[in-house]
Amino acid sequence: MNKKIAVIKGDGIGPEIVDEAEKVLNKVGEKFGHTFEYTDVLMGGCAIDATGVPLPQETIDICLASDSVLLGAVGGPKWDTLPGNLRPEAGLLGIRGAMKLFANIRPAKLIPALAGACPLKEEITKNGLDLVIVRELIGGAYFGARDTHVDENGVKHASDSMAYADYEIERICRVAFDMARKRGKKVHSVDKANVLDSSRLWREVAHKVAEEYPDVEFQDILVDNTAMQLVHNPAQFDVMVTENLFGDILSDEASMITGSLGMIPSASLGEGTLGLYEPIHGSAPDIAGQNKANPLATILSVAMMLRYSFDMGEEADAIEKAVDEVLAEGYRTGDIMSEGMKCVSCSEMGDLVAQKI
């Protein structure tokens, strides 16, 4: 197969980690007989420097005309003082909106070789940790009506509204149930239905969708209880579906308990197969340009791209297996280094994974 990939290397460590992901993808292409064609496009700080805006129209056009989009990371101190709409992060929100990506998929899995980095006690993780958070990405409080004003008494007010329409909830729930069918066949729908109207609608719609998936075990859970259960008994979760703000917070909590930011991939999907794939970490300006970054989250993001956008499950498995093997052999980048392990650079880690494909 021939696939066109738009590549946003971005800022900081972005170009270094994306180069390693392409290295691994090229090896997959050689091994399985596919061709991956890359088109580099600008977004974030580098786009601001070159064009004055964080997300040039050309970038949007090329992303929409591609089979998939790979993103490194954007942002850095150089652009921190710009107004909100001109900051690198505005590019991220803009591209998600332009590509109509409403579902963010974030796996949190405890890799046996890195179990020592997990901050939870062994008695809690002995049953494993392998879950996926399906987060609604373009609705809720981040996109609802907002207001800041000073009233006639000089008191300052600010508000954000968490708004959802039934169809927005339905389509994200379907993503979660379809995913659960391919995994552990269990969905937890996370809400705050004891307090919020938007959550009561969420719960009503989630139940309706659940009826269509009798083979998938389904349970509602309140968001506060979910935060506790994640550190108390994470093995009970398979697929968790939730709204934007809750998902933002819970997915960071879930990432933390797996031990390393440099290991976690993500996918953002819309109605079709076009998706945006990126590591969950930022541009790590403190180590940029030093060949020290951990490229594994980006390499694992490419595995998600193969699985979700290109329907290449076997190829995706090959990457994930290669990563597990390299770690099991004791190779580590600085961020996941521990005593007795072999410390390697970003490019060496990419070479090691590519060799295992």
Catalytic residue among 40, 224, 311, 317: 224
Q: Which of 19-27, 120-128, 180-188, 290-298 is the region at the interface with ligand NAD (rule: CB under 6 A)?
A: 290-298
Using the rule CB under 6 A, is 294 a contact of ligand NAD?
Answer: yes
Q: Which residues are CB-neighbours of 228 under 8 A, at least 6 positions away?
A: none
Decide whether 17 or 354 has the Cβ nearer to ligand NAD: 17
Residues 307-336 that bind ligand NAD (CB under 6 A): 335
Q: Which of 9, 192, 281, 307 binds ligand NAD (CB under 6 A)?
A: 281
CB of 323 to ligand NAD, least distance (A): 13
DSSP assignment, residue 341?
P
- CA-CA distance, 83 to 108, in Å (whole number)? 34
3-state secondary structure of 269: strand
Using the rule CB under 6 A, is 282 a contact of ligand NAD?
Answer: yes
Segment (H or E) for 318: helix 313-328
Residues 62-91 that bind ligand NAD (CB under 6 A): 73-76, 89
CB of 116 to ligand NAD, least distance (A): 17
- CA-CA distance, 179 to 344, in Å (whole number)? 35
Q: What are the Cα distances from residue 80, in Å, to 48, 75, 77, 179?
A: 12, 8, 5, 37
CB of 145 to ligand NAD, least distance (A): 25
Segment (H or E) for 278: strand 275-279
CB of 8 to ligand NAD, least distance (A): 9
Residue type, 135: R
Secondary structure string (H, E, C) spanning 113-180 = HHHHHCCCCHHHHCCCCEEEEEEECCCHHHCCCEEEEECCCCCEEEEECCCCCHHHHHHHHHHHHHHH
Q: Which of 59, 68, 283, 309 binds ligand NAD (CB under 6 A)?
A: 283
Active site residue 286: no
Active site residue 192: yes
- CA-CA distance, 82 to 334, in Å (whole number)? 32
Using the rule CB under 6 A, is 287 a contact of ligand NAD?
Answer: yes
Catalytic residue among 19, 130, 160, 252: 252
Decide whether 168 or 278 has the Cβ nearer to ligand NAD: 278
Active site residue 335: no
Tokens of 320: 């994930």
CB of 186 to ligand NAD, least distance (A): 29
- CA-CA distance, 197 to 218, in Å (whole number)? 21
Using the rule CB under 6 A, is 42 a contact of ligand NAD?
Answer: no
- CA-CA distance, 230 to 254, in Å (whole number)? 7
CB of 281 to ligand NAD, least distance (A): 3
Total binding residues toward ligand NAD, as defined by CB under 6 A: 22
Using the rule CB under 6 A, is 54 a contact of ligand NAD?
Answer: no
Active site residue 142: yes
Active centre residues (catalytic): 142, 192, 224, 248, 252
- Site residues, ligand NAD (CB under 6 A): 13, 17, 73-76, 89, 92, 261-262, 278, 281-287, 293-294, 297, 335
